[in-house]
Homo-oligomer: A and B are copies of this chain.
Amino acid sequence: MHPNDLLTLLQAIRDGGLSVEAGMERLRALPFEDVGVAMIDHHRELRQGAPEVIFGEGKSAGQIFTIVEKMAEKGSNVLVTRLAAEKAEPLLARFPDATYDTDARAFCLTQRPLEIATRGTVLVVCAGTSDLPVAREAAVTARMLGNPVEELVDVGVAGIHRLFARADKLREAAVVIVVAGMEGALPSVIGGLVAVPVIAVPTSVGYGAAFGGVAALLGMLNSCAGGVTVVNIDNGFGAAYAATRINRIIQP
């Protein structure tokens, strides 16, 4: 129910054009969606200028092309995650200004500027080169959601000195996303080094008793570093979204 409709209804009651009983009946059936929309007004603030997002896995090239084109017509920014390279080709032919990140397997179309204020840099740290696709998905998503992003690659705990060599980056971040597979130990180390929020992303990298990311997931949930939070296995997108919730400056 649009505010204007409500206005009209109340005016009709005031003016006698609608009986109190009829008005009451209509209001009892007040569509929930309006209530909901009112509630998510606050949420919209987050979405301001943010891209429309499509989860590309399990959708055909044709389906994705159709959806993207429809969104692009409205002038929206568009992010397609988990998009195989061959499915990206027709999109890139159609939108020459768009980009495709082969590591992240993400397609980005930016038609209008991202202008949202943030507190600082989102740092995406990646334990091993095999974890890179997930880390890049986090980085690409965080950028499309309006965050300044830095990346730090191949700093796993078995060669901990490589992490320490880049301590400067850790010191400057407003939020740190830590992507790691296998034993998933990196967030514990980083969580002990920085005071800012640390979001851990387990990856399905590994074999045998890695159980498709379960070992890393459990490792992160049991981190001995206080206040590390965790998202689903391989969920680089979700980590970036969570970082944006933290990093976005929202007027109360």
A7 at the interface (CB under 8 A from B): yes
Residue in B13, B16, B215, B227 whose CB lies within 8 Å of A245: B227
Residue in B6, B16, B27, B239 whose CB lies within 8 Å of A14: B16
Residue in B11, B39, B233 whose CB lies within 8 Å of A167: B39
Main secondary structure of the interface of A (DSSP, over half): helix
Are B233 and A209 touching (Cβ within 8 A)? Answer: yes
State how many angstroms separate the Cβ of A217 from the closest Cβ of chain B: 6
State how many angstroms separate the Cβ of A186 from the closest Cβ of chain B: 8
Q: How many copies does the complex hold?
A: 8
Residue in B30, B159, B215 whose CB lies within 8 Å of A221: B215
A172 at the interface (CB under 8 A from B): yes
Are B24 and A27 touching (Cβ within 8 A)? Answer: no
Give a binary string over A1-35; 1 marks a CB under 8 Å from any B CB, 0 the rest. Answer: 00100110011011010001001100110111111
A71 at the interface (CB under 8 A from B): no
Residue in B6, B7, B20, B45 whose CB lies within 8 Å of A195: B45
Are A192 and B40 touching (Cβ within 8 A)? Answer: yes
A158 at the interface (CB under 8 A from B): yes
Chain A residues within CB distance 8 Å of chain B? 3, 6-7, 10-11, 13-14, 16, 20, 23-24, 27-28, 30-40, 42-46, 57-58, 120, 127-128, 130, 156-165, 167, 170-172, 174, 182-185, 188-189, 191-199, 202, 204, 206-235, 237-246, 248, 250, 252
Rank and list the top 6 A-B pairs by shortest CB-CB distance, nearest first: A36-B161, A32-B164, A208-B233, A185-B185, A227-B241, A33-B165
**Could you name 30 residue pairs across A and B whose Cβ atoms are closer than 8 Å?**
A6-B28, A10-B13, A13-B13, A30-B35, A31-B164, A32-B164, A36-B161, A39-B167, A43-B193, A43-B194, A45-B195, A127-B224, A158-B223, A174-B252, A183-B220, A183-B222, A185-B224, A195-B245, A195-B250, A196-B250, A197-B246, A198-B245, A207-B233, A208-B232, A208-B233, A210-B218, A211-B218, A218-B218, A227-B243, A229-B239
